[in-house]
Structure 1
Amino acid sequence: MSASSLPPHRIHIKRGRPVSVTSGASDFLRANDKIAALLPAIQRNLALQRDCEAVLSSLFELCEVMQLADGQLVLAASNAAIATKLKQQCPNLQLKLQQRGWQINAIRIKVQVKRVIEKPLPVKQLAIPETAIQALSNLEKNIEKTAQNADLRAALIRLLSRHRQSGSEK
């Protein structure tokens, strides 16, 4: 049986999102001693991440467990405002984690600014019924041609021309 035909194993990484790992990758991790030695630490950090999320659900969405060493928990916050809010919750978090069996004597917070990739704004797709277009066209033709109505006429002309352009592209 080849590695590609084996069913993928499911592991949870960061905030409980399932990620597929093929059997070949699992075999590689088991075979490589240096990487395999990291697996218990990763599993521990993931369990600690889940417990932190359970204690501070809405606030912890923007945070991550970085490290737990010598009883000191290091958390990463996405910005200074989140770090400040998290710092206020540290005594409560520490107490709740200790009640869950974690040996945590101190909590340290680091601000880890991540590069934000802005999503392009969606293009508005407004569908105006044909009867409305006809009514606007009649209004533009029949409106008095005065200085007071000049801006309204110009807006109607732009609206109708845009609609005609988008209508011809369909």
Structure 2
Amino acid sequence: METPIGPLLVAATDEGLVNVGFRADEATVRRAVATMGRRLGGEPVEDAARLAPVTEQMEAYFAGSLKEFSLDLDWSLTTGFNRRVLRELAAGVPYGTVVGYQDLADRVGEPGAARAVGTAMGANPIPLVVPCHRVVESGGGIGGFGGGLEIKRTLLALEGVLPAPLF
């Protein structure tokens, strides 16, 4: 899927959206699809109808007209602590807001786990929809981002958290 932040790989199962991948060039897509096939136990099939709600909502998000995704999600590519943190992020950090790594750790009852929250963000299989770009350093820094800091800044600017990049 072509977007203002570059090509994205979007993948869904019968349960819902299972993966969003940044910088989806041909080699990246091939590797991601093979990995998903192994982890999910099946051969991927291209199905535009299944992905239509995803692409429609992502297009609306990038156009600025969608503030909250309403997609079924398949959480099967994440487990344990990471899943708990990502579910809290999805449910509790709305469009146009940010949360610190430490605050998110506190919210899931693990006050000493700010670094582990960072690891969970880096392992998020459904970025954008599960908005790991909204997690920042408690001291005011932007923090890291698996898609790259330029994409994180662009997404935060789209949501009105940061000023739009000058160039």
Higher share in helix:
1
Higher share in strand:
1
- State the structure with bigger RCO (CA 8 A, min sep 6), 1 or 2: 2
Structure-2-length-normalised TM-score: 0.26
Structure-1-length-normalised TM-score: 0.25
Which structure's CA Rg is the greater one? 1
